[in-house]
Structure 1
């Protein structure tokens, strides 16, 4: 692979104009497809094969309005007055609402105990109304009459891409880190340019795909976040290697080719680990998660291709201008025996390696303690940003009528609709049920729809228990009444999605851990290195879960981070975190340990090899981790209930894995184990395939030059 990438880098360097022109043509083509055929985004959470989804499919045929999106309207009379005094105004307003685009029906509902507030439900014929804001315009007469009116509900779920100028903060921080790392504005700008090209191609490709498939706004945002971070890092590894080689006297063309063959090989390895982990989300069997995983994986693939082609092309345009000036800080740092902060830190942590290992493991386990309270759910109106339609209406309904009115359960009765009243009576007698509506039969009497109002909020564990209770009683109800029931609705679907994701977490973790062991076993020909790397990865994940639970569940630092409401986090956060952090952890592991292994092969001395590897690897690992952190951290700023906890967990996970695990725990363990870190049974060594991640085949002719750890990623 190193030889092939070496040739690719040389070709891109020589034909740099054609390379950039080709990528520009791809961008132009994708822009044309998006403008001409781009479809709309779809944030529908469905789970094929579940009871709730089967019932929803039946509802779409038999009760189209009940299967579409819903909205809520809360009318509140001024203090000291009753809502009944405004009956004419409310009726006229609801007539206007009934004529709004795509509205199928309007149902008047409960009246509060103080008689000041009434609740109406709007049912749409489609799952995603084109203009839910039309309801805001329709309720104008009620507001003009002096009523306080709030409009919200699932129909107001955002389907746009949650990206703003705030995300540019991460790019600015990344530029600052690159300038400090390289000491050159030109060198710092190259990774940003290539990352933006890769992200542009990836996102435009996803938006073009929306014309023929379901793409969610969350999938777009996740792809942007991950694509931007890895795009900068992958280019950083290659440019860093290139400048070090220029300082040693290589020509720009040969250096670009060699950097592509060495650091580029590790970019391929790192990219493949991320791609495999993200694509592995499809095995869970949930369509929206499959789209998220494949979309992010495709963006990472584009980032790898851009790094291997556009970077050497831009290096060709830069020529000798990237060569560090003699005597500059960049030139002094590139000297083989130059002392660095990374080496000094490695000396500290390896002075008493056993105590370092103990301190790191205990510290991360303590940080992971809050993870036991981490709850998972899909977002609802209560997790929306304060001041939005969804949040204002959700809070008004919860305060006036009770939290359960925000997440009614739909019970579909199959069979004799006349006997569905017996089912409704049975359900009304269950604990934690506030109200049950009379059955609404279909014209042919084959089905009836019953609405059950829980006492608790949609994401409350008690509501999950109520759904389980109803399903457990289904057999007894059918035996008594001859009516078969299924529970569906947004709340039940959210519960089923969370259950499916929770059940898939352990098998997915086993696959990721197994992949980690196998990949590192092949690359480093060692038993200790894969085992240590895997345990470190699991510690990073556990600590990240703990920090996320402390903020979003316990409320620590919630005001500082703009968390408007503590409670469950998005159900697929654990799987997304494990998939992404796995790829990044292997990235840092390969970069750091490959340098240590090369020093071991050269010197045969355990501790000096650890210090030598840290000397050259720490600066780029630090820069890569800070860039990743800054990109992820900027996505914590927007008040998005889905992206905020994911971005926070990834930002914390990157910091912990890079600085605590890879740069502290790894040197300590290798120093503690000594030469045994590189032991591998001969039979296993012969059985494993040979993978040239470090570009040894390319460096073999360089016998006159001192060996230097390859900055791989």
Structure 2
């Protein structure tokens, strides 16, 4: 029998579901026909409802950015989270939100009286700003002595620091600080003053704004790209616009729902970009498969199909492509849901965004899109672009068959070449390092980044993010026995001498000048009231009002994410544990480094359960779909190889900084800590997506013919053009976000673009046919199941 006659009767788009075909009269068929009938009869009311929901969701989506949080990095109950909570009350210059005000005077230096006057003017305005709600301050303008003020004056003589405590809660601070910062920059830049508010809240507030602007830029880049690719695939304006509308609807519904949820629970700022990026990719992808199948089914109804014919075409489309879309979407939702095993809000948020946007993509593709198909009918071909190939044209299919057969003639050679190439790409992944983002995710032109860089330059690399050691005592420090005080003093001195520690900022050494033997005795209310004004200010900054909590800040010799400062943190925690072992003491190590280390530990500990659960879910779903023991294993191994190669590319581009010039970011020497675990779930989800479309068609042909080699070639020929088109769409979307987003989104975008490109080329074109040829009939082996007999020839 010839290749042409052994093909199954399904249309050439090759995206039929794995469980049935046009003749299936089971539950799926009845559901598809019922949906087609309902959407035909109620198409106008449903279309109006669609428009209303889209407008409401679109309005809600515009409110999302202000409700998002830059937090989500603290691990519940961790040492760093406890330390952060303990310093929010009872201190001067610290509060519910703590901010460092950085003032650089480009016209005057400390030797000129105008310097002090201008700095005080800035501080007065900031502290009186009703939006900032400053409750206390400590630094250059609150001190009087040259020695005390010198600690808050930069090396260049032009810079001063003041630490502010604000009554704003963290979420509110992130919303209002960017606006306050913009007002300060507008007011003082023309006066030769560079004023910056530096803090985690200020940083993430700026990230929120950058995320919004980046999202807008990405959409402006992405939507025309998607439209162009869809025009090339569909060859009609109407079909392209219909597909694009599905993607936009999925994203709008998702962002609208997330805006409601964000009012009641903390959602990370990254959820907006991640949900939009994935929603545009998956939503347009699913609509592509559905619309392409609908066009094939409609052509099969004749040149002038009636309304009844359109309904039949919609029903068959839902029974085939619709079923596969649902199966694929459920797989993605199940895989992404494993991320909820990670007890970190930033990952939980993005998992929620991914699950919601994929769910809406499924619903929009199989419930709302049929409404549009009924309204358009034959007009789906309106706005023809270029020359459209005839359905079932063998030319293109023959080329894919030729490629597949060439690979299967030398499967070992092609498999080895592919694996070696992927292995070379994967080698750098052995050096993968992760950490939480710092101020370097913000462009150098931003005021918060400028303040961060000035602080590092003028006060030392580690001054912008010191390790905070928070010591809690059961009794006021001055009431502790001499032995207990000695233990605390030994900890202070040990911290100062640790490798990698540049200095220790605390009130201990100044108090020793008051009483060398019992320095904490100077903290009694009567004695403290008689201390010099500058020392009283230092006491209130480092010792809580009740005298039970002492803060010691260890300044490292590098940035918060550097290996040396992480080693320093480990040494700090080891030293602190000895004091914490004594009765009446509790010691917590916090700060940016501690926060990142604790988050990394949670992600690392969760990685194996997440990946293991995800692989088990995917294996079971593929086992049920294809009724094969080894095909799911083969698919999982291919995805692991692709994942390793993708990690390797990310390490070279971001960790090694090879892409810094092209993408315009500063290399921090590591990847954002949530990127690897998020990528592995996304990649396996989307790769399984394509696996279902491809293997469903191969299995359909194999069941009909029993021809192992021919079914692989014909299945690839039937699905490759569509899968390639879908992959081009995905790559376009992810690449656009990589060039327009902030660094963590850039890493996700580049990672997904690389992964999808490798999957659609090396894996689908070379590895799949080569491995299936080597496995031969073992591809379809299942205990207790008979192997199809070869078809008659």
How high is the TM-score relative to the length of structure 1? 0.89
How far did 1:166 drift? 3.5
How far did 1:556 drift? 2.0
Q: Secondary structure at the match of 1:111?
A: coil
Query: How many residues get paired?
Result: 684
Cα distance, 1:56–1:74 mapped onto 2, change above 3 Å: closer
Corresponding residue of 1:49: 77
Corresponding residue of 2:746: 644
Q: Secondary structure at the match of 2:499?
A: coil
d(CA) in 1 for partners of 2:187, 2:246 = 54
Q: Secondary structure at the match of 2:165?
A: strand
Deviations 1:218-249 (A, max 9, x none): 11111111111100011111111112222333
Cα distance, 1:590–1:83 mapped onto 2, change above 3 Å: farther
Instruction: Say whether the 8 Å CA contact 1:373–1:553 is kept in structure 2.
Output: no
Cα distance, 1:517–1:480 mapped onto 2, change above 3 Å: closer
Q: Secondary structure at the match of 2:163?
A: strand
Deviations 1:592-622 (A, max 9, x none): 1111111111211111111110111011100
d(CA) in 1 for partners of 2:238, 2:180 = 50
Instruction: Say whether the 8 Å CA contact 2:185–2:447 is kept in structure 1.
Output: no
Q: Which stretch shows the higher mean deviation, 469-478 or 301-310? A: 469-478
Corresponding residue of 1:702: none
Corresponding residue of 1:592: 694
d(CA) in 2 for partners of 1:414, 1:573 = 36
Q: Secondary structure at the match of 2:120?
A: helix
Alignment equivalent of 2:38, drawn from 11, 36, 42: 11
How far did 1:501 drift? 1.0
Corresponding residue of 2:503: 435
Instruction: Say whether the 8 Å CA contact 1:246–1:324 is kept in structure 2.
Output: no
Cα distance, 1:386–1:333 mapped onto 2, change above 3 Å: farther
- Are residue 623 (structure 1) and residue 725 (structure 2) matched? yes
Q: Which runs of 5+ in 1 are unaligned?
A: 687-713
Corresponding residue of 2:437: 379
Alignment equivalent of 2:569, drawn from 467, 485, 497: 467
Alignment equivalent of 2:224, drawn from 172, 181, 187: 172
Q: Secondary structure at the match of 1:385?
A: coil
Cα distance, 1:245–1:78 mapped onto 2, change above 3 Å: closer
How far did 1:350 drift? 2.1
Deviations 1:503-553 (A, max 9, x none): 211221112222222111111111221111001111111111111111001
d(CA) in 2 for partners of 1:110, 1:298 = 48
Instruction: Say whether the 8 Å CA contact 1:93–1:139 is kept in structure 2.
Output: no
Corresponding residue of 1:654: 756
Corresponding residue of 1:94: 123
d(CA) in 2 for partners of 1:598, 1:525 = 12
d(CA) in 1 for partners of 2:710, 2:281 = 33
For residues 117-266 of structure 1, the aligned pairs below 5 Å read 117-126=159-168, 127-128=170-171, 129=173, 130-132=175-177, 133-135=179-181, 137=183, 146-154=192-200, 155-157=202-204, 158=206, 159-160=208-209, 161=212, 162-249=214-301, 251-266=309-324
Alignment equivalent of 1:303, drawn from 361, 369, 372: 361
d(CA) in 2 for partners of 1:97, 1:36 = 28
Corresponding residue of 2:615: 513
Alignment equivalent of 2:626, drawn from 509, 519, 524: 524
Please report the RMSD computed on the Cα atoms of aligned residues, expressed in angstroms. 2.9
Corresponding residue of 1:664: 766
Cα distance, 1:174–1:323 mapped onto 2, change above 3 Å: closer
Q: Which runs of 5+ in 2 are unaligned?
A: 1-26, 140-150, 303-308, 479-484, 508-541, 788-793
Q: Which stretch shows the higher mean deviation, 34-43 or 508-517? A: 34-43
Instruction: Say whether the 8 Å CA contact 2:491–2:575 is kept in structure 1.
Output: no
- Are residue 21 (structure 1) and residue 21 (structure 2) matched? no
d(CA) in 1 for partners of 2:164, 2:545 = 22
Corresponding residue of 2:538: none
Deviations 1:296-329 (A, max 9, x none): 2111101100000122111111212347999x96
Q: Which stretch shows the higher mean deviation, 444-453 or 568-577? A: 444-453
d(CA) in 1 for partners of 2:576, 2:442 = 34
Q: Which stretch shows the higher mean deviation, 661-670 or 92-101? A: 92-101
Instruction: Say whether the 8 Å CA contact 2:100–2:161 is kept in structure 1.
Output: yes
Alignment equivalent of 1:2, drawn from 28, 44, 51: 28
How far did 1:467 drift? 1.5
How high is the TM-score relative to the length of structure 2? 0.81
Corresponding residue of 1:320: 378
Corresponding residue of 2:638: 536
Corresponding residue of 1:398: 456
Corresponding residue of 1:701: none
Instruction: Say whether the 8 Å CA contact 1:596–1:613 is kept in structure 2.
Output: yes
Instruction: Say whether the 8 Å CA contact 2:63–2:259 is kept in structure 1.
Output: no
Cα distance, 1:678–1:93 mapped onto 2, change above 3 Å: same
